[in-house]
Structure 1
């Protein structure tokens, strides 16, 4: 329609388009500080003109425009930057998880300090050296007993704190399982809502922002891969796994995660009976637990104990393949960080156990003069089984001083003779010299006996006149072994901190790049607002002008 009414409609469309553009600007400004929000842009295009080519108007002046319309309201987003951020989120999450717990392990080790294991080891050997100079002194014997007890107490405490820390890391894994399942459910719902809005011909920008924010958060938990589907849908998997976690079609045919709360032997006296593996569906411990009976090799037990996360169906039922559990072992992300730290804790606990056992075996051997454990001559014992047989099971958690020695320090053997009491001090000097003896501590295992540990390395020392442990060229001193543990821990912690820092800088750069594209610039939005405001006012002026012209046409003819 041409004429004044046509002009009126053009101006009306112009006002409507500028108003919608102002609405978009207003929405952007309102969400300038909203996490995950992507700025939106109203795309304008010329509306369909009058005078489409035909036989009747072929020689006319051309098509007559009918104004403007909003063709779409789209969000500004760079998919490649999203991919980069999510990839770096996984690596950063891995080392942030490691740093968190490795730092706590350093605090538990408490090195270097005046009360740490290293200092207490030195004090123990020094006390034996002082006792060799004053074998008749009950005070010197008391110092040996008390310093040795301080060492065992610190080993017990360190062991218990590490075990507790491992339990804490498992609690964090459990909470992550719950959070991850909740995220996946939310993403699944948003996915379907996006598709529904797209089917209606609209752009679900805010819904897609919410989905992308959840995907960003999920990518810090473990590595993910995303397949873009039609109508804005997305299919999501964990890197290295074929199971879908989110599907645009068949939304219920997806996997979730369950949490293993305990792995216990059916019969502690008969390991061949297998294990009871107890798990909670979707990590929800408010629901009834489920138990599976199964056989586990030592390697499978260790892997399951350190992992604790099972791939399950949507209801949380664990998937079994050939009688085994389908463990979820991500390559990156916070989950992998917490899982790997458990392996580190197990390693440090095992090394502390070796240290405790090496100390007990070597000092007990020299104190008793025998490579074979005898109950009456023990100095260090297993607090849960203080017999000669219990010595084989000594670890950092149960090592202690024989109670009879604490009660009567005169039972400590000091000299060459087998009878406790004030003698020459040669045996005490031999025990003191153990600080410089290289022991194969790294080769100790849970089942090794004192005799096996000292095979070929225990003989009479001609100078001291007592049976003495001989140095092993492939071994380490007691202090050197513990120092090596502390140094490796420090290297691991510093590596985690360095990588967290480096990836933090990289992520900050990527976030800045993404924000420069998707973020809201208040200066830019204010400029757009003024531009659309002026355009709106100009269109309103056209309507006012058309109104005056119509008044001339309608009322002016009466004159």
Structure 2
């Protein structure tokens, strides 16, 4: 080897070790920087004419486990989803309280029952009457407040969706800018390691917002799609927008895929080519923070509202309506509907083809609401053609039953062989305080005193009723109606007081959409037991969500530790490398000094 070759080799060694020192210094400096991936260089021999002429360094590369990174992103989406749900359900559970706790719904129902017992013991005592009205007012106020709080949580969830859209757009914009820079840098042979770190940080942010899958392409490019196949980035970033909505968050506000039916906003994805898609429709989002917000706003919290509305509805109906068993007649049953309000109903039991069946016929005076869904039959009980309309509807449902109008309702008799009418009942809501019936409209719909009868006219009256339920203002003005069924009622008549007491202690069948036992097996029990069931259901859901969130957090933490071990900076290891590079650098410098001395000696000889 000539002296000049030796000098060149030593110089290349200096440059290689200098590059290594630069990388080590960068690693140490960024040891605590979020998203930083450890960098490294490798050295290869320079060969010319079959002889080694020095050393050269390859490009700076990232020490990253791509499979582990992919798994971490998937679990990050799941953790963000679970954590968001757990946070909201914990707040929801705190609104409902604990069974029997101060201000809890079941405790307030129990307090109302106690006040009615006191009224039964002293029906003429003004303080006992005032006590019933006070407890009824406290219960109504708690239902109003709970509704307001549930709708506020829905508003926060919708705001979370809006914020998620902004964060996703910012991440996609960063991904687009860094990807273009990476492609350009790779084209000219420059290092892209730091740019890839920046892009990965943006991709990780996106992974927390929604479920994504990332595909690496040639030349440093990539493609990002949702798990459902919608493109988020492919040679350009798609744009997310929160569209629609703007209406106040109420119990009746709901999302629907059809814009004409939706009163809440949705997330629209628009690709660079102009293709648009609703991310909330048809399972467009499957995980991540945004999925949790959409599910909370459109499913979880509305179900909680339905539970409150069902409790309020059954409270009003328990006190304000009378259920009357049908009168057996030749070949069937007669059901009384005199004085029926919109929403009052008849339930008919019959056998057909050897199977026991029931039909529910609802008083609907608004023709635009017909036909009803859910197997209900809607008819205007006061219509001259009501009997014929009911008979036609039963026939359409496969029940050959003859229907005739009576002085106070309708008579149902078997209309064909194989069909047997076995019984039925009717529910009629009282409209006045002293109309001679035991039922009393203790609770009404709104401060204006509208009668609550679970009407379907103009929309379902039950929807949001917990936010409107109030003590009847006419009853507040005349507390004697808590006891007296007529203006000239006999002193000491316990009929109404006993009715009110039985209303709270008797079993009722609650709607299956309240989510306590499912639509196929609706909850049956007292009002207090239903209130306890609501509280227990929310507590159980909150505890379950917390366990899932904790489990997901543990998985993510474990993966982060593994990822950090594989791709993070170990300062001790880097300092060892630093010493190695320093030693090699010094050795190459000594070679250069020695060669220089030898060259000087040769020049002196010459």
Contact kept, 8 Å, 1:381 with 1:390, in 2: the verdict is no
2:446 to 369, 383, 387: 383
CA contact 1:76–1:518 (8 Å) conserved in 2: yes
Residue 308 (structure 1) aligns with = 266
Select between 5-14 and 361-370 the one with higher mean Cα deviation. 361-370
Structure 1 match to 2:511: 442
Write the distance in 1 (CA, Å) between the matches of 2:522 and 2:578. 80
**Structure 1 counterpart of 2:586, from 537, 542, 551:** 537
Q: Determine helix, strand or coil for the equivalent of 1:33.
A: coil
In 1, Cα distance between equivalents of 2:304 and 2:284? 22
Is 1:89 matched with 2:88? no
Local SS of the residue matching 1:246: strand
Instruction: Measure, in 1, the Cα distance between the counterparts of 2:53 and 2:513.
Output: 89
- C-alpha change, 1:33 and 1:255, in structure 2 (3 Å) is same
Q: Using the alignment, how far apart are the partners of 1:65 and 1:421 within structure 2?
A: 120
Task: Report 1:369-518 matches (<5 A).
Answer: 371-377=428-434, 378-383=441-446, 385-388=448-451, 392=455, 393=461, 395-413=465-483, 419=488, 423-442=492-511, 475-518=524-567
Is 1:196 aligned to 2:184, yes or no? Answer: yes
Structure 1 pair 17–401 and aligned structure 2 pair: CA distance change class (3 A): same
- CA shift, 1:203, in A, is 2.6
1:431 CA drift (Å): 1.5
Report the 3-state secondary structure (helix = DSSP H, G, I; strand = E; otherwise coil) of the residue aligned with 1:375.
Answer: coil
Report deviation, 1:489: 1.4
- Report whether the alignment pairs 1:260 with 2:243: yes
Asked whether the 8 Å contact 2:77–2:288 carries over to 1, the reply is yes
Seen in structure 2, the aligned counterparts of structure 1 residues 419 and 387 have a Cα distance that, compared at 3 Å, is farther
Q: Which deviates more, 416-425 or 487-496?
A: 416-425
- Cα distance, 1:364 vs. partner? 1.6
- Structure 1 residues 421, 99: closer, same or farther in 2, change over 3 A? farther
State the partner residue of 2:300: 344
**What does the per-residue CA deviation read over 1:215-261, in whole Å, with 9 as the maximum and x for residues that have no partner?**
112111111011211012111011112x321123xx2xx53222134
Structure 2 distance, partners of 1:313, 1:234, is 15
Residue 238 (structure 1) aligned with residue 203 (structure 2): no
1:79 match: 66
1:359 corresponds, among 303, 308, 315, to 315
1:421–1:118 Cα change, 3 Å: farther
1:193: how far off? 1.0
User: CA offsets per residue over residues 170-189 of structure 1, 9 Å max, x none?
Assistant: 01111111111111111111
Structure 1 residue 474 displacement after superposition: 6.7
Match of 1:7 in 2: 6
- Offset of residue 519 of structure 1: 0.4
Please show how residues 98-177 of structure 1 align to structure 2 within 5 Å.
Answer: 98-112=85-99, 113-177=101-165
Residues 330-366 of structure 1: CA deviation (Å, up to 9, x unaligned): 1111111111112111011112111101110111236
Q: 1:443 to 1:527 in 2, by over 3 A?
A: closer
Secondary structure in 1 aligned to 2:214?
strand
What's the secondary structure of 1:45's corresponding residue? strand
Relative distance call for 1:46 and 1:318 in structure 2 (3 A) is closer
Distance 1:529 1:419, change over 3 A: farther
Question: What's the offset of the Cα at 1:111?
Answer: 2.6
Equivalents in 2 of 1:381, 1:11: separation in Å? Answer: 95
* Count of aligned pairs: 481
CA RMSD of aligned residues (A): 3.1
Q: Give the secondary-structure state (helix, strand or coil) at the position aligned to 1:330.
A: coil
TM-score, scaled relative to structure 2: 0.74
Give 1:429 shift. Answer: 2.9
Q: Partners in 1 of 2:106 and 2:255 — Cα distance?
A: 39
Local SS of the residue matching 2:536:
helix
CA gap of 1:402–1:125, structure 2 versus 1, over 3 A, is same
SS in structure 1 at match of 2:245: strand
Assess if the C-alpha contact under 8 Å between 1:309 and 1:327 holds in 2: no
Q: How does 1:54-73 map to 2 (within 5 A)?
A: 63-73=50-60
Tell me, in whole angstroms, the C-alpha distance in 1 between the residues paired with 2:114 and 2:490: 20
In the alignment, the residues of structure 1 paired with residue 507 and residue 282 of structure 2 have an alpha-carbon distance, to the nearest angstrom, of 41
The offset of 1:441, in angstroms, is 2.2
SS at match of 1:505: helix
1 or 2, which has the higher strand percentage?
2
Q: CA deviation at 1:318?
A: 7.9
* Aligned-partner Cα distance in 2 for 1:444–1:526: 64
Which residue of structure 2 aligns with residue 332 of structure 1? 287
Q: Which runs of 5+ in 1 are unaligned?
A: 53-62, 266-270, 279-291, 446-471
Query: Equivalents in 1 of 2:114, 2:82: separation in Å?
Result: 41
Q: What does 1:31-46 align with in structure 2 at a 5 Å threshold?
A: 31-46=30-45
Instruction: Quote how far apart the aligned CAs of 1:410 are.
Output: 2.1
Distance in 2, matches of 1:294 and 1:474, equals: 35
